[in-house]
Each structure stands twice: as structure tokens, then as C-alpha cells.
Structure 1
């Protein structure tokens, strides 16, 4: 088991986009794209993810976890290699659409594989800890790649993209050393389109799942708009452009530490405590820099840490309430719902931020979301003790599965 988990960590390391991220915008500018075109193609990526989540989650249940993850890595490698040859808005739009597909092929599926592996060995309560460590590995590798990206770009603008393509390709041989999960050989289809639609309707209307999706979507709005508008907000409070690189390197390290601590925090606070703590944390943090603007700097670091810490805890909660058959479909549906909320907030929030300023916009958003989330928590109790086998209409029974073993 230890060897398998280490290989999983190695696979997760190949998912880094660290070579790409620090130089992506300046590379597209060098190819003749203006900021409007760059914003458009990145918007295509976001909504492409929303459109692709459900079909690729279905595909993961149909093809099997490993094959789907391998397809995601192969498409990512192709996209990164394609950046070397792209020189028009149309070409970059096509690449970002393909990358959205690759992203959704992996979202939910890698978590589903890890959870099922642990469940088969009666270690499902270790999911948050091991998932957090895997994310820490990815973030540390990404930090190192980001530091190298500038030097590679200076030598040749194509090199960061070649490096990212090679890294994604390295994930393919690692994946096929990992065992299949979910009680199948990864060769037998287990999902149909009609079952997928029925499954999502059934699971999303369960109070223990549906209300937490709504609650999580509220804070995903805060996470997303902060990420989009933090650069102009940081400049507004006096952080120089040259200092942004140092800030973003710090983000990676803080995020790595937070994800590694996810299991310990969950052990101490419990899932309910972790999710409930979001209300006072973000209410206080975002109100603070409305009064003292420089407090935005620790707030954006805290935002990174909290979002990375919460993700594995939230995913374990959903996994505990799903059967193996259809797990990736439901997790992708959850991701789609969260991405849709974030994308809508980004589109609508842009004009508001221009009107009142990014610092004020972020402060108002954080406080307002915390207040709404507090009311939702009191009215609905989003976190409930409702494991998969405790529900009369479980996924396995809906699909006639007899091999589901998740508690």
C-alpha cells in the first residue's frame, strides 16, 4: 500500500502547470494577442470546464479510472506542445477548449481512484490526509517549476511549454503501474447516460449532499473572485508588480503546508467544524482589509491556505456518501456546479470591481457571502451524518450494483 500511495504522489506531481502559469500571458501577448483576446480564451477554458465536467465524469465511470486519467495526461501534453505552434486567437481558443477537457478528465476521477483504493483496504478515513499530502507534493513541484519557468522562457519562449508537455507525458507510465479500483478490471462499462442523469438528480436532491453543494458554492465564489481580482487589488494597496512574483511563490508554499495539514485539522475539528469555520474566517478576514487595506496581503495568503485545506475534507465528505458505481460522475457533477457558480461570479463581478475598486469589491463579497452562508447553515445544516449505506436510495441500489463496499 505504501508503494502504491507513493506512485500516486508521483502521478499527481505530473499534473503540475507550474512551467506554464508564470509565462502564459506574456507568451500570448508576444504572439500578438491583446488582453481582451487573452481574457476571452481564458473564459473559454472556464466555461469549457463547466460543459465538460458531466460528460467526462460519465466517461470515467464508463472507461475506468486509470484510462480516463491517462487520457487527461495525454491531452494535456498535446495542448502544451500545441502552445509552441499557436499564433492566433483561434488557435489558442482551440487549445484552451482541449485543455478544459483534459482538466475535467482528471477532476473528481483521481479523488475517486484514491478513495476507492483506501476503502478497499479499510483505510477510507485516511483520504483527507493522503489527498492533502498529494496536493502538497503537487504544489511543491509547481513552485519549483514556476521558479524555473522564467529562466526557460528567457532562453527560449517555447521551453516552458515543452517542459510541461514532457512532465504530463511522464504520468502515463506511472498510471499503469497503479491498480484498478471499484471492484472492476477497468475493462467493463458500468455507467450509461440515463443512469448518469438519474444518479445526479437523486444525489443532488439528498439534503446531506445538495445543501453542502450550495454552501460550498458560496465560498467557491469568494475563492474564485479573489484569485481573479487579487493582482489589481494588491497593486491598489501598494504591492509593486515586481513583488507579485514573490507573493505567488509564497502562495504555493503556504498552500502546500495547508494541504499537508488537512488530515490533522479534520481530526481536531471534524468535518462539521472545518466547514463551519469558513463563516467567521472569511467574515473577519474580508472585513479587516475594508478597514485597513494592507491587511489584504495576509488575507489572500489565508484564502489560499483555507481553500486548499478545505478541499480534501469536503471531497471526503462527498465520497463517504457515494457508492463506487457512479462516484466519478457525481463528483464531476459537484465540480461542475462549483465551477458554474465561480464562472458566473467572475463575469458579473468584473464590472462591479471596476466601479467600486477591487479592494472594496473583494471585501464586500467576502462579508456578504459569510452572512448568507451563516443563514444557510442555521436553516439547513449542510453537514449531516448520512453515509452512503445509510440512505434508502443509494447509488448502488439505483444501479443494481452489488459490489459497492464504501461505508
Structure 2
């Protein structure tokens, strides 16, 4: 980047790059051109605030993921587009972070609107409050609180947005959002995370869109489990799934059964839709994580080692793999599945069916309907149900 550019010019150049790949509502674009992101990231070289990258603001002494991040600006723009906040709206944000997103929201809703942001981490809430005060957004309300509780004293809200990963929608949130209001959250199921935009219709939420994303998980939800299957190989699965890690001991000791699909992808073409497609009909979908050490030991390389979809049943597993076949083709990579264990070949064929179903309609996005756990399910669309702790989800095409 040109070192002679001013910070305002760098900010506008970043927004130009974002809008070259995604049209933004005028209110979102104006806010991103107005709010000085670098002033929410003290200690960082100011010019680096205007790269399309996440920035860690609070490390986690107990794990690999930080406790708080300043999100990638293009993801921020995407989620604000999903939220579709309007002038005068009352908005609740869960996950205060640097205060940057709250400042953007304040610009979007204007003086007649209201923005409340909550964070469980005292230092993060203080950071957000300090940054918002120093940049002129003193009217934004910052609360140090468990975000799973929301902010009932400021409800009702017309919009709610979470900037931390959620495994489930807390019961406390339902009564804080107006009927017809919009909720946007990074929702986790079957090992993947999608930014899901949901509209409340009485006692249910119905999705209006889904986008791939990744966020630090919220503190206080533990519906996702992780088990080590071998040195450097882990499987991540949901609490309602019948995964018994003990049955998978030694599953990688033999050679894999490889099954190949007719579906191909380009070098820069996303294929995460395979994962999404599989979760709409298959309860065996999990996330596989394989380290470099395990790959060096001879385990078949997954399509993306740190996060590839896998099917797990009993003592068998199959996961997504790629093979480069024609370097000159528009789509040189063939997609397939590697299966281990007694039923590995069968699971690999099942995964290939999901691959080919996605390959036949790569842009299709399912509809998600969510109701509170135990609520009357009459009138729900026919589809695949996933049971969580506080909600039930139905996915359908």
C-alpha cells in the first residue's frame, strides 16, 4: 500500500475494495467511510487498521482462540447488511469488542436510534467504552454483562446482532426482540459457523440468508464437544450426536477407502456449501481437525486440514478430500471422500452424494426455522430437525 496515503484515504480504499466484491446499503457504506477504525485499535500501527484482517484485542490464556477480536471489516460489512438496521432503530449488540461495530451501528440508526452493546469481559467492555467516548459516540450504552442475558431493561429492540459465535439462541433473547425484528448471529451447528439472518415471527425465527464466517465462541455455551481420535486428529461434534470416541480408537491404522465424485472446483472457488448441504439431511456430520504432525504420519490430507466436514458413525469416519487432475482446466480439483473403519467406504459414498447434490446447485441456501425448545411445532415446514438445548432447528430446501 502507498505509504503516502492518509488514514482517511486508506479507510476509503478499504471500503472501495469491500464494495467491489459486495454491494453495500448506502447507510452501511457511509458508516464504514465515517468511523475511524484505527482509533478503536490503540497500540496497532494505524495504517494496519485498514487492511481486511481481524485483530486480536484480548488473548486467551487457556486456549488457542483469543477471548476477543476486532472482526474482519468485510465480515462486519456483510453482517451489517444482513441486519438491515434503519434510522431510529433500537439495536442490541452482544459482544462489544473494540466498540467499532457499535460506532458503525450508531451512525446507521442516527440520533433517533439507540445502540446498546454488552460484553462479559470487564477489560473488553472498558476498552469499548473508552474508544466510543474518545470518538464521539458517548450516547452508545456499554454494559458489562453476560451477553446470554441480553439487555432486558433497554428492550424491546428492532434489531439484535451478535459478534461472538453462538451454539444456541438463549431463551432470554426471545422477549427482547420485537415481532418482525431482525436477529443476526454467527450460529454454530455440525461444526460449521454461518452468519444467519433471522426474522422473528411470533414464537419462531425464520432465516432470510446465511453466510460463511468464523467467530470466537461466546462464554457460557458448551453444546459442542471435542475429542482426540489419534495424535493430532480431533473431531468436533454436537451434544445431540451419537458420537462415541472410544469406538474410533485406532480407526486411522489402516489405509483409507477413497471414493471420487464427478464434482470439480476451481482453485479459488469456495466449496463450504457441501458442508451446509450435508447438514440439511444428515445427522452424522461433524468437523475434522488434522494437524501437520498427523499428516506427516501418513493420514490422508483432508480438503482443509483444520476444518473439513466429516461423517461419523460408530467406529467409522469419512471426510472431504481433493485431488488435482487437470492443471489447465477451469476447475482442476476433483472432490471426493476418504473413509476409514469398517464402514468407511459406505460413509465415503454417502459424503460423495452430498458433494454431488451441492455440485448440481451450488448457490442453493436452505431455510432455517427456529422455535423455542418445547414449543408447539404445528405448522413447521417439513425438513430436517436438529435439537439444541434451548431451541429446535428445522432446515429445508
Common topology (TM > 0.5): no
Normalised by the length of structure 2, the TM-score is 0.26
Tell me which protein shows more helix as a share of its residues: 1
Pair member with larger Rg = 2
Tell me which protein shows more strand as a share of its residues: 2
Higher relative contact order (CA 8 A, sep 6+): 1
Normalised by the length of structure 1, the TM-score is 0.26
